Structure 1
Amino acid sequence: MKAVVRYFVSPDVDLENFRPDDPENFSFLLEAIVGPSDGEGEELLQLNVCTLASLTSTVSSDRIVFGRSLVIVGTSKISEILGAVRSAIERVEAESWAQAASRLSRLGFYEFEDYE
């Protein structure tokens, strides 16, 4: 079973018209809606996209940053960012959706990862 991206959304930015004020210093939450390639259904995978300058600023103020779910970018071209994220997600394959979802949680915060 292979994971596929159904679509991307962001509560922080308009992905279709993304043009950050400072292309060297920005961050936003990216949500990938993912599902199995051979079936229906979709679930949420959240990733934090940021530039190195944005991360440096956060470290300067917070002193410590945990890196899970970070996508550190050197471009503001949304097509490149989404393409790279899509590629990483769609490389995930497993024998079951539960196994694929477990692997997806290594990339970002998976909607049901702590669900029991």
Structure 2
Amino acid sequence: MKAVIKSYSMAGGEFDSYWPDDPSDFCIGMDVTVAIQGKEGGDIFSFEVCSPKWFQKNRAQHPAFSRHILFMNEHDGCAIKAAVGKLVSEVSGETWNDIANILSRFMFWEFEDYEESYS
């Protein structure tokens, strides 16, 4: 099975028209909807896109782990889409869960750590 990106969105704004005040000092929240090729709907994967300059000023005062962050020196919407598209296109699996679990190493899957409740 192969996955495809259905859509990109940005927290709090319109991704395609967003431009930071300082392209070398920014952090944005992103969502991509990903699905099995040829299927309707999809699951949401979230991540941040941050510049090292922003990360240094805002999160690196103390040792810190980072997960679900795409780093880039300067904001570039096309480069963001290319990086995420490359990741998704290179992932395959026998089942959707196989694919989603691999993608969740890089982006937060909306069903990550989900446990079914039997009440």
Establish whether TM, by shorter chain, passes 0.5: yes
Structure 1: gaps of 5 or more residues: none
User: How much has 1:18 moved relative to structure 2?
Assistant: 1.8
What are the residue-to-residue correspondences of 1:14-25 with 2, within 5 Å? 14-25=14-25
User: How much has 1:38 moved relative to structure 2?
Assistant: 3.6
- Scaled by the length of structure 2, what TM-score is found? 0.89
Find the counterpart in structure 2 of residue 105 from structure 1.
104
Provide Cα deviations, 1:67-116, integer angstroms capped at 9, x if missing partner.
11010012312111111112112211001001111101011110111112
Structure 2: gaps of 5 or more residues: none
Equivalent residue pairs, number: 115
Contact kept, 8 Å, 1:46 with 1:108, in 2: the verdict is yes
Give SS of 2:7's match.
strand
Find the counterpart in structure 2 of residue 56 from structure 1.
56
Structure number, greater radius of gyration: 2
Extract structure 1 runs of 4+ deviating beyond 3 A.
none
2:68 counterpart of 1:65: no
| Partner Cα separation in structure 1 for residue 105 and residue 70 of structure 2 | 12
73-82 or 18-27, larger mean C-alpha shift? 73-82
Percent identical pairs in the alignment equals: 29
